[in-house]
Amino acid sequence: MKTRAKKKYGLSGWSMVLLASALVLIFSYVPMIQAFLLSLKTGKGANLQFAGLANYVRMIKDTTFWTTMGNTLLYAVIQIPIMLLLALLIAVLLNDPKMKGRGIYRTCIFLPCVTSLVSYSILFKNLFAVDGIVNQALMHLHIIDKAIPFVLDKNWAKAVIIVALVWRYTGYYMIFFLSALQNIDKSVYEAAKMDGCNFFQSFFRITLPLLKPIVFLTSIMALTSTLQLFDEVVNLTAGGPGNATRTISQYIYDLSFNFVPSYGYSAAVSYVVLLLIIVLTIVQKGITGEKK
């Protein structure tokens, strides 16, 4: 009887996920396989011929590929730690039941996340324009003597993009940390307080260890999102000046649609990004000590 019941429940479970699994297979895994096969072909437009690893060899000598990959990794290395640290600190502060108006603060910090990508990119472009509010404020405070061309300078343009990313996504990851903090039993903190632990000891010895799975999840999500960065760069700097701020996703788009179409090479670059995400995920998993 138990065996029949298990088979019955097993069939019921599979019947519920079968359609979803089929859709994922058709619209996710099949295109991934097709993209890999496409990455082994060379040619322009529809005139494609099998060429083995020629696209991957070409990538090694492609200076634009390395420039855009370097820009993307730079954004990830600087922006992700700052953003996640801010999200965690804000979540800890807003999780305090003694704080008044917590709901208002949470809403205000989360609002940038629901702002249109194009709208907020244009907003930051105007804020950091030569005659924008930021330059006017800095000159009014006598911090600078003349306006800084933020968007036109290769170093300042990267800084503007990083600031824009932190502004928009900090509230998004704050929600993850808030949810995790609210699931921690308060009796753990009460016991620690009775043992003489102060706020910092409780934070580093209780809060952070218990938040390790969420830290791993948010870091992977932030990494994946940053490696696919496109809208902000296109609308803020269009990848300029030159290729100083261009990301790997923008380069893939240009290879497919703006330049003479090189679908095989763009597919190869896309697969390198996929492999990079997998490798960095494994590294992060090892650093955070996640085993599941």
d(CA 42, CA 127): 43
For residue 1, is pLDDT > 60? no
CA-to-CA dists, residue 13 to 7, 23, 276, angstroms? 10, 16, 35
Mean pLDDT, the chain, integer: 87
Is the residue at 4 inside a domain?
no
**Please, which residues have CB within 8 angstroms of residue 52's CB and are 6 or more apart in sequence?**
40
Sign of CA dihedral 144, 149, 150, 156: negative
Q: Which residues of 42-79 are buried (b: 16+ CB within 10 A; e: fewer)?
A: beeeeeeeeeeebbeebbeebeebebbbebbbbbbebb
pLDDT of residue 162: 94
Residue where the block lists tokens 């409780």: 202
Tokens at 151, concatenated: 């968007």
pLDDT of residue 290: 57
Average pLDDT over residues 171-181: 93
What is the reported pTM?
A: 0.87
Average pLDDT over residues 240-269: 89
Is the residue at 117 inside a domain?
yes
pLDDT of residue 14: 79
Tokens at 171, concatenated: 């509230």
Residue range of the domain that includes 69: 62-288
Q: Could you tell me which residues are beta bridge partners of residue 248?
A: none
How confident is the model over 32-64, as pLDDT tens digits?
A: 899 899 899 988 766 788 888 999 999 999 999
Average pLDDT over residues 180-198: 84
How confident is the model over 110-147, as pLDDT tens digits?
A: 999 888 888 888 889 899 999 999 999 999 998 989 99
Q: How confident is the model at residue 281 (pLDDT cuts 50, 70, 90)?
A: confident
Is the residue at 174 inside a domain?
yes
For residue 239, is pLDDT > 80? yes
Q: How confident is the model at residue 6 (pLDDT cuts 50, 70, 90)?
A: low
Range of lowest pLDDT (64-68, 197-201, 228-232):
197-201
Average pLDDT over residues 169-190: 89
Is the residue at 44 inside a domain?
no
**Percent of the chain whose predicted confidence (pLDDT) is above 90:** 44
Element housing 283 (H / E): helix 263-288
How confident is the model over 21-35, as pLDDT tens digits?
A: 899 889 988 988 998
d(CA 214, CA 290): 10
Is the residue at 18 inside a domain?
no
Q: How confident is the model at residue 202 (pLDDT cuts 50, 70, 90)?
A: confident
Neighbouring C-beta atoms of residue 91, cutoff 10 Å: 26
pLDDT of residue 214: 92
Is the residue at 112 inside a domain?
yes
Sequence-ordered alpha helix ranges (H) in 95-113: 102-110
Residue 227's domain is classified under what CATH number? 1.10.3720.10
Q: How many domains does the chain have?
A: 1
Is the residue at 29 inside a domain?
no
What backbone phi and psi angles, to 5 degrees, belong to 49? Answer: -135, 145
